[in-house]
Amino acid sequence: MVALSLAMVGCQQPTPSATDSPHSDSFEEDIATPEVLKLVYSRAPVTLNPHLATGFQDFEAARIVYEPLASYGPDGELIPILVDELPSLENGDVSEDGLSVTWRLQETLRWSDGEPLTAADVAFTYKFIANPAVAAVTAQYYRDIKSVEAVDDHTVKITFKQPTVSWQKPFTGLNGLILPEHLFKDFNNRKAREAPTNFQPVGTGPYRYLTEANGRLLFTPNELYRQPVNHFKRVEILGNVPPYVAARDVLREGTADFAHNIQLESAALVDLVQTGDAGALRLTFGSQVERIMLNFADPDQETEAEERASKEFPHPILKDLRVRQAIDYGIDRQAIVEQLYGDLGKPTSQLLVAPNPSAEQSISFKHDVETAKALLDEAGWVDSDGDGIRDRNDVPLQLVFQTSIGTIRQATQTLVQEQLAEIGIDILVERVRAEDFFSADPEQTNSINHFYADMQEYAIGNDIPDPIVYMGWWTCDNIAALENNWQKPNNARYCNADYDELWEAARKERDPAKRSDLFRQMDRKLANDVAVLPIVHRALSNAVSDRITGYTFTPWDASTWDIANWRPVEAEPAEPAETEAEAEPVETETEPVEIETEEETPTDVSEDAPEDPN
C-alpha cells in the first residue's frame, strides 16, 4: 500500500485545541466510517487561502469553507450563494451605463467563528486582492474595478473603470471567495502568506476546518451554516495520492469516496473501471485544454539584469513561423488521444472551447509529415550529415520540452518526441516536479512562468464562462518578466499588436454577438500564428463512490462547490442548497462513464488552473 500523506507547506501555525474553538469539538472523536466523507487529491494543499492558491488542490480544499457571492452551474448561468437575488438591469442593480453593479447580501450570514459577514468583508476582500504587496493570484479578475463600497452592512456597490459587460467577474466562482476582514486585516501586506488563518480558515461554507491530523485535513459541519448539514460528521482530505492509487481506492477498493480529476493512460483506467464495482468515473468537459507552449523568447540568453527568456531576445528557432507550423503538422493529436486519453480527451486545435463561440467556425488540425518536412526545408533546416536530425549552419534542430511529472504527460512527451523525430527535430525531454512547475514563487526557476525551455506542456482554460481574462493572457502587457516577478500569465512571451487590438475591442464591446465574434477572431489569430499548440480538450474526470449522491460537477467552480448537497445514497434528500443548479447541463457529461478499449474517435475538435494550470 502506498502511503497517503499530506503536508501543508509552510504550515508552522499551531493546530487548534478543543478549547480554542467556538464549537464543542473533540478532534479525537471516533467517527463511524459511513459518516466520514473521504476526498483524495494528487497534490497536497499548500494554503487554504484561495487568493494565495498555488494550484487546484488549494482551491478545492478552500471551497469547502469559503463562498463567493454567486457561482456558475454546469450551464454557465449564475447561481446566487451569499445573496438572495442576482443583480440585473431589470431590478436596477446593474447600471444602464455598465459602470456599476450592486450586490445585496443575505442579512443573517455568519462566519463559522460567530462573527457576522457584512459588506465590509466584501470590500476588504477586494482591498486584499488588489494590494500589489499581497500578490494575489486572483488579482487579474479585479483589475477593471475602480472601487468597492460597503453602502451599508448588507449592500456592496462595485464601480468599474469603464463600461463593462463583464460585471459578474468579481466575487463570483472560484476566484470570488470572500475573506473575513477581522482575521486578515493585519495581513493585508507583504506578510499575507504568514496569516494563521491561511492554514486555519474561518468561512461561511457548509463545513468548517478542524485540524490536520494523521496526514489528513479534517472538516466538520458548520453549525452556523444557513441550512442544516448533517449527512457527514467529518470530511477528510488526503493529498499527494498517486492517480492510480486514488482511482483504485474509489473505483475498486471503496476506501475513499472521491478522487479529483484522475489523469491516467486510458488502458489503466479501462482496467479499473471494468474490474471495480465500488464507484464510477464522471466526466465533465469544460474549458481545460492540454497545450504545448512554444517559447517566443530565447531561454539561453540573459539580459544585463540576468533575466533569461526575455522578450528582448527572440527565440532563434521558434521565431520562424514555418518552424512552428512544421511542429504543428508534425504532432498527431488523434494518436495522442487514442493511445493515451480514450474517452477522457478529444483532439483539438482551439484554445477557447467552453463556452464555445468558435463552434460555427471550428479550427481544424491536420497531421501531415510531408508538409512539415517541406516547411522545414523552406526554412533552411536540412539533414546535412544524414544522422536524422536537421541542422542549419552547423546547429542541430534540437528543442527542450518540459512538463510536470505525471504518467500521462510523460507518455505524451514520448509520443511527441517520436512524432517530431520523424520530421527531423530532436526533442530533449525534461520532467519537473509539479510543485516546482506550477509554483508562483519568483525564485523557482523551474516554473511555467520562467519557462527556461523551448516547449512546455500543461492544461488550463477560462475558469468563468466569460473568457475575457483568459484571452487576455496572450496580450503584450501580460508577458511574464522580471519586472513583474514572473506573475503575469503570458509565459510564451507572444506579442502581436493586432491581437491586442482585438482583445481591447472585446473588453469594451457590450453587444454579446459582436463580442463572441471578436473572441473567434482572437482564437483564429493565435492558431494562424501558431502561438500555442492546443492538443487535447481534456475532461475533468472525477472518480466518485457509489455510496454517495447529490453532487453536481460544473466546469466553472471547484468540484467541492456544492458539497453541502453530498450525502450517502440511503439518506433522504435535504432541502437543496443555494448552490444546486436547476438548469440542464451544457457541454458537460456527469453520467457514469464506461471506458471501452476500442471507443469511437470523438469528432468534436473543440474543448482546467494557476485553476489554475494542472
The tens digit of pLDDT for each residue in 313-363 reads: 999 999 999 999 999 999 999 999 999 999 899 999 999 998 876 556 789
Per the CB < 8 A criterion, the answer to whether 563 and 580 are in contact is no
| C-alpha to C-alpha distance for 253 and 240, rounded to whole angstroms | 18
Q: Supply the pLDDT for residue 549.
A: 96
Q: Supply the pLDDT for residue 246.
A: 95
Per the CB < 8 A criterion, the answer to whether 606 and 350 are in contact is yes
DSSP, collapsed to helix, strand or coil, labels residue 354 as coil
Per the CB < 8 A criterion, the answer to whether 378 and 371 are in contact is no
* pLDDT tier at 605, thresholds 50, 70, 90: very low
Q: Supply the pLDDT for residue 55.
A: 86
Per the CB < 8 A criterion, the answer to whether 227 and 577 are in contact is yes
Mean pLDDT of 77-83: 97
Return the minimum-mean-pLDDT range out of 15-29, 259-273, 401-415.
15-29
* pLDDT tier at 441, thresholds 50, 70, 90: confident
- CA distances in angstroms from 586 to 344, 355, 471, listed in the order given: 17, 9, 21
**Residue 182 CB-density burial (10 A; 0-12 exposed, 13-18 middle, 19+ buried):** middle
Omega of the bond leading into 585 within 30 degrees of 0 (cis): no
| C-alpha to C-alpha distance for 554 and 564, rounded to whole angstroms | 15
| C-alpha to C-alpha distance for 333 and 534, rounded to whole angstroms | 9
Amino acid (one-letter) located at 317: I
User: H helices of 51-118, where?
Assistant: 56-62
| C-alpha to C-alpha distance for 553 and 585, rounded to whole angstroms | 9
Q: Is residue 545 predicted with pLDDT exceeding 80?
A: yes
* pLDDT tier at 375, thresholds 50, 70, 90: very high
Mean pLDDT of 298-324: 96
Q: Which residue has the cell 467552480?
A: 557
- From the list 320, 13, 28, the residue with the least C-alpha distance to 196 is 13
| C-alpha to C-alpha distance for 255 and 4, rounded to whole angstroms | 12
Q: Supply the pLDDT for residue 440.
A: 79
Q: Is residue 454 predicted with pLDDT exceeding 90?
A: yes
Per the CB < 8 A criterion, the answer to whether 189 and 133 are in contact is yes
* Three state DSSP letters for 203-225: CCCCEEEEEEECCEEEEEECCCC
Q: Supply the pLDDT for residue 263.
A: 87
Q: Supply the pLDDT for residue 81.
A: 98
Over pLDDT 90: what percentage of the chain?
Answer: 77
Per the CB < 8 A criterion, the answer to whether 468 and 166 are in contact is yes
Amino acid (one-letter) located at 178: I
- CA distances in angstroms from 103 to 68, 122, 561, listed in the order given: 12, 10, 20
Q: Which residue has the cell 512546455?
A: 456
* pLDDT tier at 28, thresholds 50, 70, 90: low
Q: Which residue has the cell 513583474?
A: 484
Q: Supply the pLDDT for residue 512.
A: 87
- Helix 321-330 to helix 369-378 angle (10° resolution) is 160
Q: What does DSSP assign to residue 2? A: -
Pairwise pLDDT comparison (497 vs 2), residue with the higher score: 497
Q: State the average pLDDT for the chain.
A: 88
User: H helices of 88-161, where?
Assistant: 119-130
Cβ partners under 8 Å of residue 204, min gap 6: 66, 67, 82, 109, 110, 111, 112, 117, 178, 222, 224, 225
**Residue 540 CB-density burial (10 A; 0-12 exposed, 13-18 middle, 19+ buried):** buried
Per the CB < 8 A criterion, the answer to whether 405 and 432 are in contact is yes
Q: Is residue 591 predicted with pLDDT exceeding 70?
A: no
Longest distance between any two alpha carbons in the chain, whole Å: 77
Q: Supply the pLDDT for residue 6.
A: 31
* pLDDT tier at 515, thresholds 50, 70, 90: very high
Torsion of CA 461, 463, 468, 474, to 10 degrees: -30
Cβ partners under 8 Å of residue 334, min gap 6: 347, 367, 601
Q: What does DSSP assign to residue 495? A: -
Where in 419-568 does DSSP place strands (E)? 426-432, 455-460, 532-545, 548-549, 567-568
| C-alpha to C-alpha distance for 532 and 291, rounded to whole angstroms | 7
For 436, other C-beta atoms within 10 Å of its C-beta total 15
| C-alpha to C-alpha distance for 553 and 177, rounded to whole angstroms | 18
Q: Is residue 576 predicted with pLDDT exceeding 70?
A: no
Q: Supply the pLDDT for residue 17.
A: 36
| C-alpha to C-alpha distance for 179 and 192, rounded to whole angstroms | 12
Q: How far is CA 511 from the centre of its chain?
A: 28
Q: Supply the pLDDT for residue 575.
A: 54
HSE of 207, CA atoms in CB hemisphere, 13 A: 29
Q: Is residue 582 predicted with pLDDT exceeding 80?
A: no
